[in-house]
């Protein structure tokens, strides 16, 4: 499986996230390995049930959101791979448009010919911490 397929899996994950579609989200996650999730600022969320509960809580608290991501590194092996990206998130909070930038890594495993997500880790950029100006220069694709 190619980096291209892995990139498509990453794109599909964020599309389902935007659609706030819990059933579709459930289908994207790996079945043969333990899954885990770290939402921005959250503690570890471990196991399929807890991960899906966390998505339910997020989807229920969200009316709309839109991602424009910069994939910085896509690394595909024969059975596992991961995508490192910067999530450019637009949403509305009490009617006000809000933009936020997060860092993310999404780790996938190949199951029955399909890249399924096994770990999602998104983190906020904090004021006063270094920001990269070189990320785009090292994009691999």
C-beta of 36: minimal distance to a copy of itself in Å?
5
Structure-token pair, residue 138: 């090292």
CA distance 1 to 8: 11
Give the range of 15-23, 60-68, 71-79, 90-98 binding a copy of itself by CB under 8 A.
71-79
The CA-CA-CA angle for residues 85, 98, 62, to 5°, reads 85
Q: Is 96 in the site for a copy of itself (CB under 8 A)?
A: no
Handedness of CA 65, 28, 109, 57 (dihedral sign): positive
C-beta of 137: minimal distance to a copy of itself in Å?
8
Number of neighbouring beta carbons within 10 Å of residue 28: 19
Binding site for a copy of itself (CB under 8 A): 33-34, 36, 38-47, 50, 54, 57, 72-73, 75, 77-82, 84, 86, 101, 103, 105, 107, 109, 118-119, 121, 123-126, 128-132, 134-135, 138, 140
């Amino acid at each position: 499986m190619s980096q291209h397929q892995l990139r498509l899996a990453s794109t599909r994950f964020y599309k389902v996230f935007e659609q706030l579609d819990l059933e579709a989200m459930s289908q994207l996650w790996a079945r043969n390995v333990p899954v885990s999730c770290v939402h921005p600022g959250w503690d570890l969320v471990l196991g399929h049930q807890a991960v899906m509960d966390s998505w339910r809580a997020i989807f229920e608290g969200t009316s709309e959101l839109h991602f424009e991501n910069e994939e910085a590194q896509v690394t595909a092996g024969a059975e596992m791979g991961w995508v490192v990206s910067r999530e450019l998130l637009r949403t509305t909070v009490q009617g006000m448009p809000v933009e936020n930038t997060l860092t993310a890594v999404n780790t996938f495993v190949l199951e029955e010919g399909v890249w399924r997500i096994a770990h999602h880790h998104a983190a906020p950029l904090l004021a006063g911490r270094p920001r990269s100006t070189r990320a785009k220069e090292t994009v691999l694709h």
